[in-house]
Amino acid sequence: MVLAALSNGQKIVVAVVPGHRESTASWSAVLRDLKARGLRAPRLVIGDGHLGIWAGLRNVSPEVEKQRCWNHKILNVLDQLPTREQTAAKSLLCQIPYAPTHRETERRQA
């Protein structure tokens, strides 16, 4: 699924396509289809850790900025911690992406 977030905050589903295990070929095809339908290259793409989306973007729109999804990052970190430490860690980790400045983000990580 491809979800577009507009500058006014509205979110729109622009594609729902079955793919072969989120492969590079599948993502490239979806991105080419969106381009053919008139969708301009986005400013930023946020995705999970599957490599297919990133490789597909390199194939179709290499100029697009890429960012890993914070939710997935946090879940991956928590998964590496003992269960007893996860609640406290989650509270701290969830503050990081909402920091108003880079300096504040670094401070919250300390």
Q: Are residues 19 and 44 in the same domain?
A: yes
Q: Are residues 8 and 53 in the same domain?
A: yes
pTM of the entire predicted model: 0.72
| C-alpha closest to that of 2 among 61, 62, 53, 69 | 53
Q: Are residues 6 and 35 in the same domain?
A: yes
3 state SS of 66: strand
**Beta carbons within 8 Å of 21's beta carbon, 6+ residues apart:** 52
How far apart are the C-alpha atoms of 2 and 29, rounded to whole Å? Answer: 12
Give the chain's domain count: 2
Q: Are residues 58 and 16 in the same domain?
A: yes
Q: Are residues 55 and 74 in the same domain?
A: no
Q: Are residues 58 and 87 in the same domain?
A: no
Mean pLDDT by 10 residues, the chain (110 residues): 90 88 89 95 87 92 92 93 95 87 78
Question: Which domain, by its residues, includes 77?
Answer: 70-109
Q: Are residues 41 and 10 in the same domain?
A: yes
Q: Are residues 77 and 34 in the same domain?
A: no
